Every structure is written in structure tokens, then in C-alpha cells.
């Protein structure tokens, strides 16, 4: 009995020894260790800030160019994106402060040709006032939201006050009209994007995969089309999201674990996918962005990541050659309209894939 016990102990000791590293590893200086930790946190903060800025820079022209086709889902916006320290967890605050993130909302992106750009607003300007509301250094969210809501209801412009490198300046900005579908980022590595009828959601994984800006624009157009065409049941909830605040200011990541995983499981019908492809290309082109990359990009998504794409090209909805032929045809249709000077507007209820989408209510409104 004793003997057997000894054997077991020896065996487990051997097992432990074989799991430990056998090389002499370098001694790590605790100060260096801390510095490296700070460096990595700063890189994470910068990566997130870049993602938010990039998505805003690409989505804003698309939601603005198509405002007249978005029915009642319109919002007022300025073409400027802010970020503040409170968008990050407290463990990231020191790192964030070190790379230019401030307690007050700070400009991280100004969209070219927007009202903010023509007013001369620049990256790193710090927002200190909206209308007659002062923006404090902490707990300003509610104040800021109310100030923007008030301004957007009261008139066609808003006065903003900024601190630029220690000097105050004020500027009056005319509101622009955009489709009221804010774009949000989900911290998740899967190659996925979706539309829920209220917002457009991008997972960090797809931001990495769609490394070219024109690829990301194609997805923005596609998801916006799902929302505008009413592919998602809008019956659930009626939260007062939107208006100016959401378009202006958003957290870096949104934790939507439960809600999102339910959403992601839903696959749209082939008809809806065809329609989102078709209308989405119009949306992107109307914003003056290139669309020629679309067929190859969707093909790349389908071929390389069939399991990771839950929305558009899920394995339950295999990528049909028809879909890609339809994308090519849509590009031809759009280019022909541009060449002939015809209104650049999708033919609602029609899909180049051949289906008559008669079950889809024609939701597109407005002129050209």
C-alpha cells in the first residue's frame, strides 16, 4: 500500500517537472514590465480610436448622401466625431490620457466636405461648450446630449465652443441631414456586420478583414439598405435613440453579448440579401464612392470565411453564382445611369438577380 502511494507521488512529480519550462529565461525588470504594459494599453487605445474614426469617416458620407431615401428616419448631424476618456475602462485611463484622449469630448475625425470641415474644426480640438451649456470634465454625457437635442430642435445651427491648444474659439455650425442609423462597433473578432433596424453594427473582426476603405463602404451600404428597406422587424421597442447625439458621440465598443448573439443567428432571406446588395451599391455610389470592388469582396468573404459570416453569406445560405452576376449587373446599371444622366436611384421592387421582390414594400422615398 505504502509502496503504491510512493509510486503515485513520484509519477505526479515527474508530470509536474515535465510541464515546467526547462530553459533559463531572462530576468524581467519590473519597471520595464510596467512600461511595456502601458505601451500595449496605449496601442490598444489608439487602435480603437482609429477604428471609430475610420468607420465614421466612411459611413458619414453614405448616410448623408442617402438622407432623402431614408423616409422618416432622419437625424441632424455635423460631420464631426468626438471621443472622451469615459469611453474606456478605468484600467485604460492612464494609457488613454498619454495618447491624447481627454476627459472632455475631443475631436477624433472631421469628415471632408462636412459642415464641421468648412467651419475649420480640427482633430484634437476639445469641446467645452454647446450653445449656452458648459461641458464639465466629468459626468457630462447627459448635459451634452440635452444640449445637442435642444439645439437640433430649436433651429438649423448650433454654436460650439472649443479649446484648441489652450485657446478658446467658437463656431456656428449648420446642421446636415443624415439617415438616422448610427454605426456602432462591437468588440468581437468574428467577421460580421449586421443591421437591426435601428443601427448598423460592425464587429472588430470585419474591420480587420475589410482592410480597404472601399470594401468597408460596400458593407456599410449593404447594412444601411437592410435598415432602409425595412428587412428587420421594427416592432421591437421604440427607444428614442438617434437624433444628433448618437451621430456625434459614441463609445468605443458596445457590449451586447446577449442581444447580439440572438441577432447574429438570424439569417435574412436570399431575396432580402439580393435587395441589400442591389440597393446598397446605389447608396455607396450616391456618396461618390467606388463600387467596382464589391463582387470580388463578397466573393472573398464567401470563400475564405464561410462559417464566420452570419449575416450575409452564412453556410445555410450558400453564395450562389447568381448573386455575384447580379452585383456585376448592378454596377453596369449604375454606370449606365450615370453615363446617360438618369437619376441615380434604385428601381425599388426589382433585383437584377431576376426575382420580383413584390413582398417588399417600396420604402424608398424622395427625389433622385
The residue to which cell 470634465 is assigned: 137
How far apart are CB 358 and Zn ion at their closest, in Å?
Answer: 20
Binding piece for Zn ion, criterion CB under 5 A, among 85-93, 105-113, 270-278, 298-306? 270-278
Which residue lies nearer to Zn ion by CB, 149 or 214?
A: 214
How far apart are CB 228 and Zn ion at their closest, in Å?
Answer: 13
Closest-approach residue to Zn ion (CB) = 312
Yes or no: say if 359 and 229 are a contact pair by the CB < 8 Å rule.
Answer: no
First to last CA, the chain: 90
Chain CA centroid to CA 325, Å: 28
Closest C-alpha among 322, 303, 68 to residue 179: 68
276 lines the binding site for Zn ion (CB under 5 A): yes
Q: How many Å apart are CA 96 and CA 144, to the nearest integer?
A: 21
How far apart are CB 234 and Zn ion at their closest, in Å?
Answer: 16
Which residue lies nearer to Zn ion by CB, 135 or 232?
A: 232
Q: Where are the strands (E) in the chain, listed by range?
A: 74-77, 80-83, 106-110, 126-130, 133-134, 157-164, 167-174, 176-179, 183-186, 193-195, 200-203
How far apart are CB 281 and Zn ion at their closest, in Å?
Answer: 13
333 lines the binding site for Zn ion (CB under 5 A): no
The number of residues that bind Zn ion (CB under 5 A) is 3
What is the SS3 assignment for 31?
helix
Binding piece for Zn ion, criterion CB under 5 A, among 68-76, 101-109, 151-159, 275-283? 275-283
How far apart are CB 311 and Zn ion at their closest, in Å?
Answer: 5
Residue numbers 290-329 binding Zn ion by CB under 5 A = 311-312
Q: How many Å apart are CA 290 and CA 113, to the nearest integer?
A: 17
The radius of gyration computed from the CA coordinates of the chain, to the nearest angstrom, equals 25
Task: Sort 290 into a burial class: Cβ within 10 Å, 0-12 / 13-18 / 19+.
Answer: middle
Which residue lies nearer to Zn ion by CB, 139 or 233?
A: 233
360 lines the binding site for Zn ion (CB under 5 A): no
Which residue lies nearer to Zn ion by CB, 196 or 311?
A: 311
How far apart are CB 222 and Zn ion at their closest, in Å?
Answer: 6
Residues making contact with Zn ion (CB under 5 A): 276, 311-312
Amino acid at each position: 500500500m505504502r509502496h503504491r502511494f510512493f509510486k503515485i507521488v513520484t509519477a505526479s512529480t515527474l508530470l509536474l517537472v515535465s510541464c515546467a519550462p526547462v530553459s533559463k529565461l531572462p530576468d524581467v525588470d519590473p519597471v520595464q514590465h510596467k512600461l511595456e504594459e502601458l505601451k500595449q494599453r496605449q496601442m490598444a487605445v489608439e487602435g480603437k480610436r482609429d477604428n471609430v474614426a475610420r468607420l465614421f469617416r466612411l459611413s458619414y458620407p453614405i448616410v448623408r448622401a442617402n438622407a432623402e431615401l431614408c423616409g422618416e428616419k432622419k437625424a441632424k448631424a455635423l460631420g464631426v466625431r468626438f471621443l472622451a476618456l469615459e469611453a474606456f475602462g478605468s484600467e485604460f485611463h492612464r494609457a488613454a490620457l498619454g495618447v491624447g484622449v481627454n476627459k472632455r469630448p475631443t475631436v477624433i475625425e472631421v469628415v471632408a466636405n462636412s459642415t464641421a470641415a468648412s467651419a475649420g474644426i480640427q482633430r484634437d480640438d476639445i469641446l467645452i461648450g454647446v450653445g449656452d451649456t458648459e461641458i464639465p470634465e466629468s459626468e457630462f454625457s447627459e448635459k451634452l446630449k440635452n444640449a445637442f437635442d435642444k439645439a437640433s430642435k430649436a433651429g438649423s445651427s448650433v454654436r460650439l465652443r472649443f479649446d484648441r491648444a489652450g485657446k478658446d474659439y467658437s463656431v456656428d455650425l449648420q446642421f446636415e441631414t443624415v439617415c438616422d442609423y448610427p454605426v456602432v462597433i462591437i468588440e468581437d473578432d468574428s467577421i460580421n456586420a449586421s443591421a437591426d433596424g435601428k443601427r448598423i453594427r460592425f464587429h472588430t473582426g470585419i474591420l480587420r478583414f475589410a482592410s480597404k476603405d472601399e470594401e468597408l463602404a460596400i458593407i456599410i451600404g449593404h447594412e444601411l439598405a437592410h435598415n432602409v428597406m425595412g428587412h428587420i422587424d421594427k416592432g421591437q421597442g421604440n427607444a428614442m435613440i438617434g437624433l444628433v447625439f448618437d451621430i456625434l458621440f459614441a463609445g468605443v465598443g458596445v457590449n451586447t453579448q446577449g442581444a447580439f448573439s440572438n441577432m447574429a443567428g438570424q439569417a435574412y432571406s436570399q431575396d432580402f440579401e439580393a435587395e441589400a446588395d442591389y440597393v446598397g451599391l446605389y447608396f455607396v455610389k450616391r456618396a461618390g464612392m467606388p463600387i467596382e470592388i464589391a463582387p470580388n469582396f463578397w466573393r472573398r468573404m464567401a470563400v475564405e470565411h464561410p462559417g464566420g459570416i452570419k449575416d450575409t453569406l452564412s453556410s445555410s445560405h450558400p453564395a450562389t453564382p447568381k448573386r455575384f452576376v447580379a452585383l456585376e449587373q448592378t454596377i453596369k446599371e449604375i454606370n449606365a445611369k450615370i453615363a446617360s444622366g438618369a437619376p441615380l436611384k434604385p428601381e425599388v421592387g426589382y433585383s437584377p438577380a431576376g426575382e420580383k421582390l413584390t413582398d417588399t414594400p417600396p420604402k424608398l422615398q424622395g427625389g433622385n
